[in-house]
Amino acid sequence: MTDFLQLFFSGLSTGAIYALAALGFTLLWQASGTINFAQGEFVMLPAFMMLAFMNMGAPILVSFALSVVLAVIVLGWLFKRGLVDPLFKYGMMPIVVATIGLSIAMRNGVRAGFSAEAHPFPSLFPDKLFNIAGVTITMADLGTFAFALVLVLITQAFIAKTVTGRAMQAVAQNTESASVLGINVPRMIFYTFAINAVLAVAAAMLVTPTYLAKFDMGESLGTKAFFAAIIGGFNNSRGALLGGLIVGVCENLAAAYISPAYKDAVALVIFMVVILFKPQGLLGKKVERKV
Amino acid sequence: MQKRFAFKLIAACALAASALTGFAQQTVKIAGIVELSGPGTTSGTFFNNGAMLAVKEINAAGGILGKKIDYSSNDTQSNPGVAKGLTQKAVDQDVFAIFGPVFSGSIMVSMAESRRAEIPNFTGGEAASITQQGNPYIFRTSFTQDTAMPKVARYMSDTMKLKTIAIIYVNNDFGKGGLDSVKKALAPSATKVLGEISTDSGQIDFSAAVLKAKQLNPDGIFAYTNEEESARLLRELRKQGWTKPVVGETTLTGQKVIELAGEAANGAIGHVGLTVDAPLPAVRAFRAKYEKEYKTISDHNGMKGYSGMYILKAAIEKAGKFDRKAVANAMHTLKVTAAQQPGVLMDVTFNEKGDLDRDSFIVEVKNGKQEVTAVVPPLGAK
């Protein structure tokens, strides 16, 4: 039982990170009907932004704050204006293809600028161990889980409870009606991209001490987060959290009780099972087709 | 007027062609086919840097038998298929020798091409099977696992007196080769293997692997994974409160592993064929030159690339001509001392299979640095 709990808690921490990245998928889908296949690289790039600021001597939290500003400009505004807006009128597929291209470009750009080697990245949390009834939990595990959970809940609350959040939802549900109601549609869509950028920086800060800062760190993270978003429900932010945690925990349990060789297949298997029996995801809502 | 122009054009072309031919005669092409991206990035980059440093020095000193080296780096992306394609490309470009790939899985695939073209091929791969296939054109820049594992097995059994161990290995050609070799070397000893735990190349989370090892309750863990994964494994071991010995090979205690694992690397023990911390003048000189050139401390892969290039130089000089077959023949009985050729870093001998033998070291990571705790003599000296 102790071993099970050890794996469970360790998985929760990893799953919380998947959830943060998955939340990016669901937010963009809800706001603009877009799937961003560069989501993993959207976490990778802020990691290198923070690394660059830290190399200049800034403490980790200052680097985080500066990276948030930079990410909102680059991954929010520039991404929207440079890629999504021009392609939006051609439908979703060109955007999907363009984001795949963008992910390759971002990987190779960082590789050229920072070298292809992994770089160590400091942890936000102190190197402290807790031993509770035989289960070893690190401060980093606890902190990562708590931080991710708070961020997901704040995002959820912002979208559901505030006027701006509701306006964002209105835009997502029907752009034309929202426009008639006086909602500034482009601004609401930009807010979504900006929130996604901020979440990506937070995910980068939490994930990079484990993943190590490397140009291809976003590849597996992006894939897992994509599966997590679908498992939880692509049109539900809480679904991203649930999907992330399920993938994180199940991966760990499968690696220990079945074989580490199958660990990376776990997300895919759960994804397949879920879309077979509940295509809209565990917490997702059925969407009526517009005719 | 037109005739005169045509004559001038032909003359200019002839002059340019002769100049190019003359230039080509002054250089010898060597292709580096290395892991500059993917899971093997760390190993490939260091190996390539070491080779390039040696090329720079050799060229500055007048080249090999009067010819300068024209070295090119090619990225395999840590993909055996790409490595094979690049080797074929190097063959088409008529290179004199090939350096790399470093990963065992890649060289196992790519060396068929260099063998077919009879081009000497130097690898950083340590899987025992590489040189067991009778390829006369394959040469190592580091120990085979069949040389290294008996040394580390003897250390665990005789010096550390470990009664039981669990083995955590990476499930690829390199890892499986090492697993087989260490098990074979430990079989007659007092150290028993309680379990073998497989992990993946590029694996991020080692919590399950460490938990499995803890459940076996061994006296120590033998870890045999690539550099980045070694760092993650060491961090997970520390996280789960593992306090017993962690022993490994070169990839457990390399400089990059120490940098990535931080505090968690302290206490790790490794048998290393090459270390920049070896108390030898040639090695110390190499360390300083590498650090000056690349602003970082080399790991064993940098030493492999560097010493490998000087070993090729020694073989060409022994053959006395740029003849691939003659150089390959010279390699098979090559004995070079660091006194004659400081670039080889240590006295080294090659056997008929292309395997090398030389001194090696036991190191322990203390306060974030490798410390050499013992020098292990060549296996052939025993």
Interface contact B228, partner A, CB < 8 A: yes
Is A165 contained in some domain?
yes
Interface contact B74, partner A, CB < 8 A: no
Interface contact B166, partner A, CB < 8 A: no
How far is Cα B169 from Cα B177, in angstroms, rounded to an integer? 10
Third-level CATH fold of B12-143+280-350:
Rossmann fold (3.40.50)
The residue among B119 and A6 whose pLDDT is bigger is B119
In this prediction, residue B22 carries a pLDDT of 45
How far is Cα B65 from Cα A93, in angstroms, rounded to an integer? 60
Q: Which of B1-5, B97-101, B127-131, B265-269 has the lowest mean pLDDT?
A: B1-5
State yes or no: pLDDT of B20 exceeds 50: no
Contacts of B262 in chain A (CB under 8 A): 120
How far is Cα A37 from Cα A35, in angstroms, rounded to an integer? 6
CATH of domain B146-272+361-381: 3.40.50.2300
- Domain holding A206, by residue range, is 2-277
Q: Give the tens place of pLDDT for each residue, B288-336.
A: 999 999 998 898 899 999 999 999 999 999 999 999 999 999 999 899 9
Instruction: Please identify among residues 206-225 of chain B the ones whose CB lies closer than 8 Å to any CB of chain A.
Output: 207-209, 211-212, 215
Contact A210 B37 (CB under 8 A): no
Interface contact B260, partner A, CB < 8 A: yes
Residue ranges of the domains in chain B? 12-143+280-350, 146-272+361-381
Interface contact B230, partner A, CB < 8 A: no
Q: Chunked in runs of 10, what are the mean pLDDT values of chain A (291 residues)? A: 81 87 85 84 94 93 95 92 85 87 93 83 83 79 88 86 87 80 86 90 90 88 92 84 92 82 84 89 68 43
Q: Which of B46, B204, B215 to mutate to test the interface with A (most CBs of A within 10 A)?
A: B204
Beta bridge partners of B361: B272, B375
Contacts of A10 in chain B (CB under 8 A): 205, 207
ipTM computed for the complex = 0.77
Q: Where are the beta strands (DSSP E) in chain A?
A: 129-132, 135-138
Tokens found for residue B274: 């090459």
In this prediction, residue A136 carries a pLDDT of 78
Q: Which of B34, B47, B170, B211 to mutate to test the interface with A (most CBs of A within 10 A)?
A: B211
Contact B204 A211 (CB under 8 A): yes
Residues of A with CB under 8 A from a CB of B: 3, 6-7, 10-11, 14, 111, 115-118, 120, 127, 129, 131, 136, 138, 210-212, 214-216, 220, 251-252, 255-256, 259-261, 263-264
In this structure, the number of other CB atoms found within 10 A of the CB of residue B246 comes to 26
CATH code for the domain of A220: 1.10.3470
Q: Considering only the beta carbons, identify the residue of B205, B240, B241 that sits closest to A252.
A: B205
In this prediction, residue B19 carries a pLDDT of 47
* Residue A106 distance to chain B (closest CA, Å): 14
What's the domain count of chain A?
1
Query: Fold identical between B12-143+280-350 and B146-272+361-381?
Result: yes
Distances in whole angstroms, Cα of residue A48 to Cα of each of A118, A202, A252, B40: 11, 13, 27, 20
The residue among B351 and A261 whose pLDDT is bigger is B351
Longest CA pairwise span in chain A (Å): 60
Contacts of B263 in chain A (CB under 8 A): 127
